[in-house]
Amino acid sequence: MTRITPLLERNEQFASDYTPVALGLPTAQLLIVTCLDHRVDPAIFLGVRLGEAPVIRNAGGRVTPAVIDDVAYIAFLAEQLFGTELAADALFEVAVVHHTQCGTGFLADPAFRHQAAQATGIPEKTLEASAVTDPEATVRADVGRLLASPSISPKVSVSGHVYDIATGRVTTVLDARHPDRPGA
Ligand SMILES: [Zn+2]
């Protein structure tokens, strides 16, 4: 018996009437970057279904070097496997979604941040950089970070959105755009 036991029962239900999805292009032509918060699940608030979109989640849904590496690899993989099926200028769109009431917001407080750094060994600067207190501002910054990254294919577009925990609504802050580089 572990804490996951009740969920394994739900998995039994799921598997009893399951149809596998073959490896292919995400049918929504979308990759979602969002927070790991348990109130922020794209399968629920965006209705994302199996096979529609890869989802990368971390604290805050921030565009870290690890996220940039994942997006770069997924773009490479999509182009290698399915490049001929795609329009020459379009692989997929990365939608960055930050949210209100984010738990990373506590990290904006220097005393809290200092304590967190001491307890976890994570540098204070790293913790400060992950804080989401104004999701509209951090979404703009992170879309900019992806668009400016030389490792991201110019065939990838990036958009920015905020999910409001109080209303359940997603608002688009930045429409999809390609990096401003040759080949884009
Ligand atoms: Zn969050």
What does pTM read for this prediction?
Answer: 0.93
pLDDT digits (tens, 9 = 90+) for 11-23: 999 999 999 998 8
The alpha carbon of 86 and the centre of ligand 1 are apart by a number of angstroms equal to 33
Output b/e per residue, 22-59; b: 16+ Cβ within 10 A. Answer: eeeebebbbbbbbbebeebebeebbebeeebbbbbbbb
The alpha carbon of 38 and the centre of ligand 1 are apart by a number of angstroms equal to 9
The alpha carbon of 101 and the centre of ligand 1 are apart by a number of angstroms equal to 7
The alpha carbon of 56 and the centre of ligand 1 are apart by a number of angstroms equal to 13
pLDDT digits (tens, 9 = 90+) for 45-104: 999 999 999 999 999 999 999 999 999 999 999 888 887 777 767 889 999 999 999 999
pLDDT digits (tens, 9 = 90+) for 108-126: 999 999 999 999 999 999 9
Task: Give the per-residue pLDDT at 107.
Answer: 93
pLDDT digits (tens, 9 = 90+) for 98-107: 999 999 999 9
The alpha carbon of 83 and the centre of ligand 1 are apart by a number of angstroms equal to 34
The alpha carbon of 41 and the centre of ligand 1 are apart by a number of angstroms equal to 11
Question: Which residues, 6 or more positions from 105, have their beta carbon under 8 angstroms from its beta carbon?
Answer: 131, 132, 133
The alpha carbon of 145 and the centre of ligand 1 are apart by a number of angstroms equal to 19
